[in-house]
Amino acid sequence: MTLHDSVREQLNIIEALLRKHDHWQTTPPQASVFESTQPFCMDTLEPLEWLQWVLIPRMHALLDSGQPLPQSFAVAPYYEIALDTSHPSRDDVVLELQRLDAFFADDNA
């Protein structure tokens, strides 16, 4: 399995997890929320919304275009902080994001 295939599979796992925990939205947010200058659109999107509406589609677009994937990429640390420890799907989400991040660790470059 290629790196691209592995990353795509992990994105699909994250999407399935969001759907399983009823965090997947059927209606996209207003276009203006994507104009945020904050990391993770933290001033306009909830953390799990950012995964659905920004990370997953942008990563799929990179994979589809054949462009180089990011290096030294890590989103799990943000979610360890952004999701309250009482959040019911926090541990599952963080674990799957750590698995995604592992594909972009410095030692894989």
> What is the predicted pLDDT for the residue at 107?
56
Looking up tokens 């691209």 gives: 4
Domain containing 101: what range?
3-108
Confidence class of residue 14 from pLDDT cuts 50, 70 and 90? Answer: very high
CA atoms within 13 A of residue 104's CA, in its CB half-sphere: 16
Coil, strand or helix at 33: helix
User: Which pLDDT score is estimated for 106?
Assistant: 64
Q: Which stretch of DSSP H or E encloses residue 53? A: none
List pLDDT tens digits, range 52-109.
999 999 999 999 998 888 888 899 999 999 998 888 899 999 999 999 999 998 655 4
Exposure string over 19-47, b if 16+ CB within 10 A, otherwise e: eeeebeeeeeeeeebeeeeeebbeebbbb
Q: Rounded distance, CA 31 to CA 67, Å? A: 25
CATH number, domain with residue 96: 1.20.1440.40
- pLDDT tens per residue, range 15-66: 999 999 999 999 999 999 999 998 889 899 999 999 999 999 999 999 999 8
pTM for the model stands at 0.90
Of the chain, the end-to-end C-alpha distance in Å amounts to: 17
List the structure tokens of 109. Answer: 């470059």
CA 70 – CA 42 distance, rounded (Å): 21
The pLDDT value given to residue 109: 44
* Total number of domains in the chain: 1
